[in-house]
Structure 1
């Protein structure tokens, strides 16, 4: 029986269902950032302990994502995504009930956040891999751009949503998670028709061997792409945490207004992601140019921000960095998702998701530790973005083996190999 080919046309309902997955995933961090100062006051914790609300969600996700990728390659994407969403929602219930009923809820809230992180491991990166299975060529780039824009939209809306929900009671956001996770799981279950897997399942040894071959052939540019995505999100979430703390401590900005302010650079990133995904199509040379340019746009404003002490100036510069992030991420998504055969796509994409999560996890505590020396903090971050831009320029080799110049190349090879196998079997 012939293998199912990826669909060319984009259908609204499957894409909408998949786009809700990263949107919900990002709510896990961004929705809580505006309420962290209030949480510190309500349960009597330090700034560092508050930052761990973000970290203890992101670190478990980053560690478990590779396993989720393997499971999605071995079985199906939906078998991973749907239970992951339900676990994500359950963690929100644990954290919310602890905040509601316990006098000293911090430890149980952290346990709930760990559960949410474990659930998040099977969400966004697996949704990206599934999009790679469903669509190809320019349709894939467009779909991934929309999914990244959905991720960005979640970042835009979540500070506002978090601030609004906190008007009811500060921990209300935790109870919002199970509702939206169940809705997303239902959408994926009913509207996403996953292509059937063909051929026999690889053993873990064969699977690891295939991954080793992939990284041996393409490791330099893949690792550079991983680093670029991680650093972009590390800087974004770190600066957002920094600005949120300054607005609360120094300027006494109310929760809702703080959420609205934080949404501005995220809106710039979301809009840029949407436009970038629609324009890049299969043009790998353009993707490389946009990645290098985007990293420069992330770094230069940070270097300028080192000489200003006003959070609103920093916010304006962060808008430019948000545009840079919106250029970088859709290009990386398309390159990485198109780089390998379907059989290893889940793992390669999951590793990318893993380092993205770890970047998000590291941002708040590191920026929090450097808050008292903003000039040093911004200078270090600008240097990091600059190093990534240089690495991307030299190590992402467009048009050569390992550069991923033809997004369909690996799928075509896989189809040819399967055809040869069938012919030999008939002979």
Structure 2
């Protein structure tokens, strides 16, 4: 049964919490640990860097299309019943990469992984948070689970790089942890009460989709999904793409130091996310998202204005505050908008939105910088101004200051 609204703290003594954290923590192993291994993969199979990059593309492409389908079946058959097979397939296919001898085999196995893992697992774990918890406690647990995603994402490149230095396939052994988590979830995670309720559709996919769309308040859903798309576009395009190029070209930093600076920003986001439950006592989810875009704006403009690598680090920390506010808040908002019978699909659609941001974010920053030859400072500054305008738009959508505090209508 979900906890009452009066219970607001993180249930640190609950085994359920740590199972949810473990599920979320294996999700960022999708791309983060493999990126540093791409040069080693190219050497091992004697291919170009572009072809080795397909190891990332092969994983990301299936998830963008299949995430809502996985979410639909999670709603129909029960989220725990879907999560366990997804964890198993994700882990087994990942470890199986260590046994192959051709690049096309790697790509096939990565596509299998991408069809069930990564961001899909993250969304399903967040959907389960919505099943188990209500009110401020939902925000508190959502913050901890989101923080585990951020910590794992931050540690992934470092761990992947160390392992890839030993062997191109060494990072893939880490996917075995997903199999362990699958076993723990199967044996120890109690099924949420909503799993027995089923959906209100007649079992057909079209009926489910129509019913799910009809169940959502259209305006609020568009605001939350739009904020998700905008926020992650700035993150993938600005912080993970433009900033590394800026640090290398303008400040002459090597890849190791660049990675450390970006990791610092992600760690700040993780720490802020942990306190989401406390913030939720005073601010609505839309309020936290609005303030988050304000920090996005300050951080991106700060990167543009920084005159040193240290200045960029401080600006990235400001951006990280905004990302730490946005991550759990949009997840909590979507979880609150969706009924339990559609929560898996609604949260998995969030995955498709994030993967869309991952696709469009980098070109939005690299194309102006390279084609127009304006460098990366100007696109980052423009993005900062855009984030500020988006924050103003969210403020207006909330109906002003009173719409940002607890007790106002949530979006």
CA–CA separation in structure 2 for the residues paired with 1:183 and 1:370: 45
> Within 1, Cα distance between the matches of 2:155 and 2:246?
17
Q: Tell me how far 1:7 sits from its aligned partner.
A: 5.9
Residue in 2 that maps onto 1:417: none
Structure 2 residue matching 1:343: 3-state secondary structure: coil
Aligned residue in 2 for 1:326: 324
Report whether the alignment pairs 1:304 with 2:305. yes
Q: Secondary structure at the match of 2:355?
A: helix
Per the alignment, residue 413 of structure 1 pairs with none
Q: How far apart in 1 are the matches of 2:391 and 2:208?
A: 28
1:83 and 2:95 correspond: no
Q: Distance in 2 between matches of 1:152 and 1:358?
A: 19
CA distance in 2: counterparts of 1:80 and 1:407, whole angstroms: 35
Alignment correspondent of 1:291: 292
Q: Summarize the alignment of residues 207-246 of structure 1 with structure 2, pairs less than 5 Å apart.
A: 207-213=208-214, 214=216, 216-235=218-237, 236-239=239-242, 242=245, 246=248
Are the structure 2 counterparts of residues 277 and 7 from structure 1 closer, same or farther at C-alpha, using a change threshold of 3 Å? closer
Give 2:379's aligned residue: 380
CA RMSD of aligned residues (A): 3.5
Does residue 181 of the first structure (1) align with residue 213 of the second (2)? no
How many angstroms apart in 2 are the aligned matches of 1:135 and 1:59? Answer: 32
Q: Give how far 1:390 is off.
A: 2.5
Q: Secondary structure at the match of 1:30?
A: coil
| Mapped contact 1:231–1:384 kept (Cα < 8 A) | no
Counterpart of 1:54 in structure 2 is: 56
SS in 2 for 1:321: helix
Q: After superposition, what is the alpha-carbon deviation per residue over 1:187-234, rounded to whole angstroms, capped at 9, x for unaligned?
A: 322332122335553224443233232253534313322323431442
Find the partner of 1:138 among 136, 139, 142: 136
Aligned ranges for residues 182-201 of structure 1 at < 5 Å?
182-197=179-194, 199=197, 201=199
Deviation at residue 129 of structure 1 after TM alignment: 0.7
CA distance in 2, matches of 1:40, 1:33: 12
- CA distance in 1 between counterparts of 2:179 and 2:89 reads 10
1:73 aligns with 2:75: yes
Contact 2:77/2:198 (CA < 8 Å) preserved in 1?
no
Q: Identify which range, 368-377 or 66-75, moves more after superposition.
A: 368-377
**TM-score if structure 2 supplies the norm length?**
0.81
Query: Which structure 1 residue ranges, 5 or more long, are not aligned?
Result: 411-427
Partner in structure 2 of residue 162 of structure 1: 160
CA distance in 1, matches of 2:154, 2:86: 23
CA contact (8 A) 1:142 1:278 kept: yes
The 3 A distance-change label for structure 1 pair 32 and 5 is: closer
1:263: which partner in 2? 263
210-219 or 113-122, which deviates more: 210-219
C-alpha displacement of 1:399: 6.7
- Alpha carbons 1:268, 1:326 under 8 Å: kept: yes
- Asked whether the equivalents of residues 130 and 336 of structure 2 are also in contact (C-alpha less than 8 Å), the reply is yes
Mark the CA change 1:355 to 1:300 in structure 2 (over 3 Å): closer, same or farther.
same
- Distance in 1 separating the partners of 2:324 and 2:258: 22
Q: Could you tell me whether the CA contact under 8 Å between 2:4 and 2:135 is conserved in 1?
A: no
Secondary structure at the counterpart of residue 81 of structure 1: helix
- Post-superposition offset of 1:265: 2.4
Alignment length (residue pairs): 391
Query: Structure 1 pair 378/253, CA: closer, same or farther in 2 (3 Å)?
Result: closer
TM-superposed CA distance for 1:31, in Å, is 1.2
Listed one character per residue, the Cα deviations across residues 61-100 of structure 1 (whole Å, up to 9, x for unaligned) are 22211111111111111111111111111221333223xx
Over residues 226-265 of structure 1, what are the superposed CA-to-partner deviations in whole Å (9 max), with x where a residue is unaligned? 3234314423433476489x59xx76666xx776555322
Report the CA distance between 1:180 and its aligned residue.
0.7
**1:342 aligned to 2:345?**
no
Unaligned runs of at least 5 residues, structure 2: none
Q: For the structure 1 residues 219 and 332, does the alpha-carbon distance in structure 2 shift closer, same or farther, using more than 3 Å as the test?
A: closer
